[in-house]
Structure 1
Amino acid sequence: MTNPKTAQWQAMSRAHHLAPFSDYKQLAEKGPRIITEAKGVYLWDSEGHKILDGMAGLWCVAVGYGREELVEAAATQMRQLPFYNTFFQTAHPPVLELAQAIAELAPEGMNHVFFTGSGSEGNDTMLRLVRHYWACKGKPAKKIIIARENGYHGSTVAGASLGGMKG
């Protein structure tokens, strides 16, 4: 190691951080790779290694890192209305404008959007919607869902179970 902080961060990780989907024996022996910087499609670890981020964060940074126009748009929105839910008959202009833009890109008849905070939530919501749909159609016993075996469908019990993941 060339960066003295790497060992410190790895010790902090061992002491306090649970890393999902990790080999804990290997993690205890080698410690985690410490990611310290990102730009475009690249990451840098604490040792200065440049890494192509083929996973796009965890499939949630498809537009790349360090996009100033996104930083500015987020900062502007954070100053006005950083968050509010859309439950209980509530909406707000940013969610309505984005829902309309997505609906305009979708195939005919797919004109409603349900926002979630993660893919895991999205898949859990899909399961609930499918069950509700078939119950409304008078077929509540229809509950078979087709998913990719060993596919990553989220980290919740329902999402992980879709792909047959254990533990």
Structure 2
Amino acid sequence: IGTVIENGADLTARRAMLQGSMLAGMAFANAPVGAVHALAYPLGGQFHVPHGLSNALMLLPVLEFNLTEADALYRELSDAVRAGERTWHRTASGRAFVDAMATIVGELGLERTLGELGVIEADLPGLAIDAMKGQRLLVNNCRDVNYDQALALYREAL
């Protein structure tokens, strides 16, 4: 990711990103998305936030929220997410995965909060109401998400 962000003219890196995007799309067909997407869609609909950015903004709050239920799954991912970096040490920690994802999101140079996009506290209840309409996505989440939890996740991202 870093290479593409740092040098958009690197066609080899861009090709790899496109291939990764395609593989992710294929994975979604077999392992549906959950709360991150359910909370991201209202941001696009109400604030015209690009889908990738809205997902990046909601990723970390949802990963934190899911950590208690997904620790074993996150542990499996912690080795893979930074496998190419020699400084990354293998660990059996779901927390390590969440921290690694926070590092990656931070390295992208994107907006880090909903507030940076003009979202204010008064907007959050409407976002949470709309997120609850995404039950087809929320049922895939490892942890149930109700209105109050969705509101809290948006507050965390604000």
**TM (normalized to structure 1)?**
0.23
Structure with bigger strand share is 1
Larger Rg: 1
Structure with bigger helix share is 2
Higher relative contact order structure (alpha carbons within 8 Å, sequence separation ≥ 6):
2
